[in-house]
Amino acid sequence: MDLSIFLSTLCALSWGLQAIFLKVAMRRIPLYTTILITLTINFIVIIALISIGSGFFQFYHIRFPVYFYFMIAGFLNYFLGRGFYYSSFRFISVTRGTSISSSYPILSVAISIMVLGEKLPIHQFLGIGLTLTGVYLLMIKGKR
């Protein structure tokens, strides 16, 4: 198996499991406490990994425009993205919340086509259609 496929599968498994743990953990604590706890843990782990790895000197060679793009990405991902994602678990099931939020690559593709001028072959458009169909099927309420 290709290493990238294996790593992507582990990523999907990790994200899938974290949604379950978040739903259980958020039963008794406020939203912003949840965000603060996860960000603090992420910060500690990243600092440890940077210290073990190449070290902090790598950051001195990065120019400000790159930092600016990372700041925007961090704000969108960690503050807005997590806030909305975690909030969804208070109102809808993990299945529905994760299904909707997991469709974000489709938005990334659409924006990259408009902003970056990227091109997609027809089979990738078909894949987007199938993904949206899957999200729709997960969202509709059946008879119980």
Instruction: State both tokens at 135.
Output: 């999200």
What is the C-alpha separation between 134 and 116, in angstroms, rounded?
27
Q: Which of 20-29, 30-39, 96-105, 113-122 is predicted with the least confidence, judged by mean pLDDT?
A: 96-105
Domain count, the chain: 2
What is the C-alpha separation between 3 and 86, in angstroms, rounded?
31
Task: Tell me the pLDDT tens digit for each residue of 110-123.
Answer: 888 888 898 889 99
- The answer to whether residues 26 and 90 touch, using CB atoms and an 8 Å cutoff, is yes
User: Where in the sequence is the domain holding 69, given as residue range(s)?
Assistant: 3-102
Q: In the Cβ-directed half-sphere of 34, how many Cα atoms lie within 13 Å? A: 21
112 shares its domain with 49? no
52 shares its domain with 86? yes
94 shares its domain with 52? yes
15 shares its domain with 33? yes
Task: Tell me the pLDDT tens digit for each residue of 44-82.
Answer: 998 888 888 777 777 778 888 888 998 998 899 888 888
